[in-house]
Structures are given as C-alpha cells and as structure tokens.
C-alpha cells in the first residue's frame, strides 16, 4: 500500500475513533472499547475495499457489511457519516429516542446499514445468506462481517461457518476482532474460543492472522482474501481494545461504559493530537 493511501486511511481511522467517543460520550452509554479496536478495519473497508454508493444505499450490486459484533455500531456510524450516508451531526444523537442511530445497527433507521444486528452470533448467518444470494444470482458483490472474539463463543457462529465452508463462499470475509477481552474478563478467564485459526481452518476456511491496526497487513489480507477461490476467508485481526485512547487501551471495563466529561475531553485531546500528527 502506498504511503499516501495509508496516511489517508490512518486519518479516517482517527476520525472514526473521534466519532466513537463523540457518540458514546453524548449518549452516556455504549461500547467504546470494541468500537475503537475495529476502527482501522472499518476505515479500510469503507474507504478502500468496498464497492458502495452512499447516494444509493440499497444498490443491489453493492458490497455488504454486516456488523455481527453489533454493539460496536459507533464505529460503523462514524464511517457511514464520513462516507456521506448521513450528516455527521447525527453522531451526537446516538441512542436517543429520536435518533436514526440505534444502540445496535438497524436497517430500519439508518441509511447504509445492510443488516440489523446486535444479538451476537446472528449477523454472520445473515452474511452467509447474502454471500449465498450473490452466488445464486451470479453477482460479483462481496460480503464482509466483523465478529467479536467473545462473540464466536456463540454456537450459531459455527453453524454459519460450517455452511459457508461447505458452500465454498469465497465472496465472504469474516473478520475476528481479536482484542482478547470480553465483558466478564479476558478470553481465558471466561471461555476461550482459541485456537481461533485452527477452528476456522477445520470448517474449511482460508485463515489469515494479522495485526488489525497495521494497514499494510490489513491490505495484504483483504487482497489475499479476494484471490482465494473456493473458500471463505477469516481474517483474525489481533487488536487492542480501546485502541487510540490511552486510558481505554486493553481495559476490560471500557467494553460497555462511556467516558464522562473529563474522560471525553482527554480522549478527544489525544485523538486530535494523533490527527494533527498525521496531518503535519
């Protein structure tokens, strides 16, 4: 990936992180930790990889994004706003009764949301359905579905993985956001799904493990996914929960709690500094 493109994506990722803080800060609730860990991949997908049209969100041939880890909607909403699906002003209305931005993604309220998700384990099944739909219709669109590392403890994920492997859905990419933390503690403390790579391999998937904050590695992985024929691809992205906000990084408690006013200011100052550094 060339330096200029990478720099642009890095800036967008910081802007997405600012959206995460702005949304959850105003809502006084939400899930910043996992939203921050997936921000780089969301930036890459919406601003480099996916073939979408914000002016025509329901375009039949668009690539699909199914946020199976639906609680990290703030990252998705920021990306959609930056992409032009709706004005940025909506970000601060997150989780309010008159907002188009629900606590978890909803097709009903938000332009650009391809599937209503939030109940863990369900999004990936719908992503499999979309990928199957593309194959049956001979269409070229691709489907991208980020999952939480804790989410893959849900049995339904493996039902979906089995069908996707057996149906050779090479137009499907699942991304496991491997930040190693879930609500009650680390994966090991709760009920570890590891080894994640061996499990997906056993279900007939092409598996690529990367640093989920390194755009070169992200780019290589999604390029390799496109080149892989006859298998769905699982990109296991090693990430840091809370990435980009120092006091949130690698802290379980930031899974589902919002910053207070002081924390909001500090987080925004850090992200503004990061953005200024990239723009310098």
Partner 1 sequence: MADVIKCATRDAYGNALKALGQRDDILVLDADLAKATKTGVFKKEYPDKFIDCGIAESNMMGVAAGLATTGYTVFASSFAMFSAGRAFEQVRNSIAYPNLNVKIGATHAGISVGEDGASHQCCEDIALMRVIPNMTIINPADDVEAYQAVLAAADHDGPVYMRFGRLAVPRVNAEDYKFELGKGVTLRDGKDVTIVATGLLVSEALAAAEALKEEGIDARVINIHTIKPIDKEILIKAAKETGAIVTAEEHSVIGGLGGAVAEVLSEACPVPVLRLGVEDTFGRSGPAVKLLHLFGLDAEHIAEKAKKAVALK
- What is the rounded end-to-end Cα distance, in angstroms, of the chain? 20
CA distances from 201 to 96, 99, 157, 160, 234 (A): 42, 41, 14, 14, 9
24-53: contacts with partner 1 (CB under 8 A): none
- Is 132 or 190 the residue whose CB approaches partner 1 more closely? 132
Q: Which of 38, 147, 160, 248 binds partner 1 (CB under 8 A)?
A: 160
Residue 119 binding partner 1, by CB under 8 A: yes
Identify the residue among 114, 151, 170, 177 touching partner 1 (CB under 8 A).
114
Stretch near partner 1 under the rule CB under 8 A, chosen from 40-48, 130-138, 218-226, 260-268: 130-138
Per CB under 8 A, 170 contacts partner 1: no
Q: Is 103 in the site for partner 1 (CB under 8 A)?
A: no
Please spell the DSSP secondary structure of 41-75, one letter per residue: HHHHIIIII----TTSTT-TTS-EE--SSGGGHHH
Establish if 175 lies at the interface with partner 1 (CB under 8 A).
no
DSSP 175-236: EEEE-SEETTEEHHHH-----HHHHHHHTT-EEEEEETT-HHHHHHHHHHHHH--SS-EEEE
Q: Which residue, 108 or 229, has its beta carbon nearer to partner 1? A: 108
Among 163, 228, 268, 275, binds partner 1 (CB under 8 A): 163
Q: Tell me the CA distances in angstroms from 204 to 8, 65, 224, one per residue in order.
A: 35, 22, 16
Rounded to whole angstroms, the Cα distance separating 98 from 104 reads: 15
| Binding of partner 1 by 108 (CB under 8 A) | yes
Q: Which burial class, exposed, middle or buried, applies to 224 when counting CB atoms under 10 A from its CB (0-12, 13-18, 19+)?
A: middle
**Is residue 256 involved in binding partner 1 (CB under 8 A)?**
no
Task: Please pick, from the candidates 128, 173, 221, 240, the single residue that binds partner 1 as defined by CB under 8 A.
Answer: 128
The residue to which tokens 């493109």 are assigned: 5
Give the nearer residue to partner 1 in terms of CB position, either 60 or 280.
60
Residue 67 binds partner 1, judged by CB under 8 A? no
Question: Footprint of partner 1 on this chain (CB under 8 A)?
Answer: 60, 64, 66, 106-108, 114-116, 118-119, 121-134, 136-137, 139, 155-156, 159-160, 162-163
């Amino acid at each position: 990936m060339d330096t200029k493109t990478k720099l642009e994506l890095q800036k967008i990722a910081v802007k997405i992180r600012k959206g995460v803080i702005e949304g959850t800060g105003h809502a006084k609730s939400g899930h910043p930790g996992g939203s921050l860990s997936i921000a780089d991949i969301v930036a890459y997908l919406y601003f480099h990889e996916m073939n979408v049209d914000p002016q025509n969100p329901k375009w039949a041939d668009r690539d699909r994004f199914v946020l199976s880890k639906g609680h990290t909607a703030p990252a998705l909403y920021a990306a959609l706003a930056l992409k032009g699906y709706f004005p940025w002003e909506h970000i601060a209305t997150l989780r309010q009764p008159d907002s188009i931005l629900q606590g978890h993604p909803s097709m009903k309220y938000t332009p650009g949301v391809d599937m209503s998700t939030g109940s863990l384990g369900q999004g990936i099944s719908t992503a499999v359905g979309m990928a199957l739909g593309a194959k049956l219709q001979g269409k070229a669109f691709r489907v991208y579905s980020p999952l939480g590392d804790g989410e893959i403890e849900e049995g339904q994920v493996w039902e979906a993985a089995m069908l996707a492997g057996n149906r050779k859905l090479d137009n499907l990419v699942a991304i496991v956001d491997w930040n190693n933390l879930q609500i009650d503690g680390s994966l090991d403390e709760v009920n570890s799904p590891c080894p994640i790579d061996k499990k997906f391999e056993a279900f007939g998937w092409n598996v690529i493990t990367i640093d989920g904050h390194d755009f070169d590695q992200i780019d290589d992985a999604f390029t390799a996914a496109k080149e892989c024929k006859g298998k769905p691809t699982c990109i296991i992205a090693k990430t840091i929960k809370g990435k980009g906000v120092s006091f949130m990084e690698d802290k379980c408690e930031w899974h589902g709690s919002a910053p207070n006013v002081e924390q909001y200011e500090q987080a925004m100052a850090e992200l503004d500094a990061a953005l200024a550094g990239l723009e310098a």
